[in-house]
Amino acid sequence: MPEGPEIKLAADQIAAVLEQQRVREVFFEQPRLAHYATELEGQKVLDVSPRGKALLISFDNNLTLYSHNQLYGVWHLCDYGQTIDTKRTLRVALHTEHHSALLFSASSIEVLDPAALADHPFLNRIGPDVLDPQLNWRDVAQRLLTPTFRRRSLASLYLDQGFLAGVGNYLRSEILFDAGMSPMLKPAQLSAGAIGALARSTLNISRRAYATAGVTNPARRARRLEREGADYEAYRFMVFGRDGLPCYGCSSNIVKIVMASRRLYYCSNCQVEPNDQ
Ligand SMILES: [Zn+2]
């Protein structure tokens, strides 16, 4: 499943062809949405933003197109007039003068007015987007310490989209390694300084992955590994997928475990347990 950085990079590509453009033609495959086509035709797209695994496309008549790709949905971009060779069902088409943004297979599609947007059950359930530029480390620190989250293990918290949207399985391992914290720890067991460090790692590693299209290793290390012949998968991560290989911090072997039903990688030497502190 794509995580926040991959989702935001895909949204950026859609934004590049739609934002500030007027949609000339709109198509909805689902009959319940068909009447919105005429309401949206001629409107300008103001913003394209991911919210967790959903995408919001807002128009200047205050309507917002909400889509959630679930497992199968996929956006394709092409020049206006081109067709995409696929067996998938076309659900939504937004055509500007020069481009088309085509959504295939997704079934969770809605057109929302401001009140429906504010009341949307999925959007209300998820936490702030980890790649929202407005989010700062103090917000994350505060969130870690709220009663809802403070007694949960970091391993479970860092997969909960209600805590922070966009953090997924590889980011969980990479953030906890960067912060030097065991996945078994709970926020309630951490000092104020450690909470701050974890909050900063959360944003730093997520933003790094977005800026580098998925590489969480520090740039110098990634470049050195690449020079030494490592391929993308081998230089990409600090710990994720590196079980049995030496830790970049201490040379101990990286360990793979399953926590909250997903694989997690960590260094038991660099990532301290509650009773080590
Ligand atoms: Zn280590």
Alpha helices in 90-243 (DSSP H): 114-118, 121-125, 137-144, 154-157, 169-179, 192-211, 219-227, 232-236
Clarify whether residues 267 and 144 are in a common domain.
yes
CATH classification at residue 183: 1.10.8.50
In the reported structure, the alpha carbon of residue 180 is separated from the centroid of ligand 1 by a whole-number distance in angstroms of 9
In the reported structure, the alpha carbon of residue 266 is separated from the centroid of ligand 1 by a whole-number distance in angstroms of 8
pLDDT tens-digit map of 207-217: 999 999 999 99
In the reported structure, the alpha carbon of residue 216 is separated from the centroid of ligand 1 by a whole-number distance in angstroms of 16
Annotated active-site positions, please?
2-3, 53, 262
In the reported structure, the alpha carbon of residue 252 is separated from the centroid of ligand 1 by a whole-number distance in angstroms of 5
Clarify whether residues 121 and 223 are in a common domain.
no
Q: How far apart are CA 173 and CA 159, in angstroms?
A: 10
Clarify whether residues 115 and 146 are in a common domain.
no
Count how many domains the chain has. Answer: 2
Q: Is residue 176 part of a domain?
A: yes
Query: Which amino acid, residue 31?
Result: P
Clarify whether residues 104 and 216 are in a common domain.
no
Q: How confident is the model at residue 275 (pLDDT cuts 50, 70, 90)?
A: low
Clarify whether residues 180 and 240 are in a common domain.
yes
pLDDT of res. 277:
47
Q: How far apart are CA 66 and CA 123, in angstroms?
A: 10
Clarify whether residues 14 and 82 are in a common domain.
yes
Q: Is residue 131 part of a domain?
A: no
Q: Is residue 112 part of a domain?
A: yes
The stretch 171-178 carries a mean pLDDT of 98
- Ion ligand 1: residues, CB within 5 A, are 247, 249-250, 252, 267, 269-270
Q: Is residue 242 part of a domain?
A: yes
Clarify whether residues 208 and 112 are in a common domain.
no
Clarify whether residues 257 and 204 are in a common domain.
yes
Could you tell me the CA-to-CA distances from 143 to 19, 122, 150, 217 in Å, in that order?
32, 19, 8, 26
Indicate the residue among 70, 102, 125 that finishes a domain: 125
CATH classification at residue 110: 3.20.190.10
What is residue 75's three-state secondary structure?
Answer: strand
Clarify whether residues 159 and 181 are in a common domain.
yes
The stretch 129-147 carries a mean pLDDT of 96
Answer yes or no: pTM beyond 0.85: yes
Clarify whether residues 98 and 20 are in a common domain.
yes
pLDDT of res. 274:
66
pLDDT tens-digit map of 43-94: 999 999 999 889 999 999 999 999 998 778 899 999 999 988 999 999 999 9
Clarify whether residues 110 and 222 are in a common domain.
no
Parent domain of 49 = 4-125
In the reported structure, the alpha carbon of residue 247 is separated from the centroid of ligand 1 by a whole-number distance in angstroms of 5
Q: Is residue 132 part of a domain?
A: no
Phi-psi region for residue 46, left (φ > 0), alpha (ψ -120 to 50) or beta? alpha
The stretch 242-259 carries a mean pLDDT of 97
